[in-house]
Chain A
Amino acid sequence: DGGITQSPKYLFRKEGQNVTLSCEQNLNHDAMYWYRQDPGQGLRLIYYSQIVNDFQKGDIAEGYSVSREKKESFPLTVTSAQKNPTAFYLCASSPGTSGSSYNEQFFGPGTRLTVL
């Protein structure tokens, strides 16, 4: 089955700890994205990556870090500098970003992070 997997499904963190959320895709997509979803605020872009070993900040990158060492993997680290990390985190991928054709983003099942 092709798709996007995220782990863990639920994650609890103590204040002051860094945690890493996993995102893997086997769709052979070039681009990958991380979003944060809070109630009533829709999805906000944290980081995105168009190719391996390259990534860009989104609208709310402060307190987060990412890496893209492999095409299929795009882990997100929530650092202790993120002041309000409790949220639902969604990873997405899309075939590519070149050209002007339609480019659908496919989403994973999400990770719910709670800071205790």
Chain B
Amino acid sequence: QKEVEQDPGPLSVPEGAIVSLNCTYSNSAFQYFMWYRQYSRKGPELLMYTYSSGNKEDGRFTAQVDKSSKYISLFIRDSQPSDSATYLCAMYISSGSARQLTFGSGTQLTVLP
């Protein structure tokens, strides 16, 4: 079993829809949770990060962490064609050597105009 599971999709939605992207994880020691966006043939860029449980909002994006269920989500409101990309969840434990990130496999999202 992978430490981080993410539905690979692909996911297609119409413009303006609310998108929900999700990851589950098995290691309860994870403390920092991130969402990266990766356009085709480009490097990932950080969208949001959260520490511990709760919600964090940034514009059209909301990141949610439920540590009791080991479940994280990214919601995109009023989705735009420019949101079409692969979304990667990542997480790490703050103590230890290099605070290595553990990534999900990514969800490919297409927002149709």
Contact = CB atoms under 8 A, between A and B. Distances in A.
B60 interface: no
A43 B8 contact: no
Contacts of B88: 42-43
Interface stretch (A12-20, A64-72, A75-83, A99-107): A99-107
Interface string B1-45: 000101010000000000000000000000010101000011111
Nearest to A48: B98
Contacts of A25: none
Contact of B100 (A58, A90, A100, A104): A58
A107 B44 contact: yes
A103 B51 CA distance: 11
A92 B98 CA distance: 13
B69 interface: no
A43 B99 contact: no
Given A42-B6, A42-B88, A97 B97 contact: yes
Contacts of A44: 103
Interface residues of B, number: 27
A31 B98 contact: yes
A102 B49 CA distance: 9
B68 interface: no
Given A107-B44, A108-B43, A110-B42, A102 B97 contact: no
Interface string B39-60: 0011111100101000000000
Interface of B: 4, 6, 8, 32, 34, 36, 41-46, 49, 51, 88, 90, 94-95, 97-101, 103-106
Given A33-B98, A42-B103, A107-B44, 11 more contacts: A4-B43, A40-B105, A45-B100, A48-B98, A90-B44, A92-B43, A101-B94, A102-B51, A102-B94, A103-B99, A107-B36
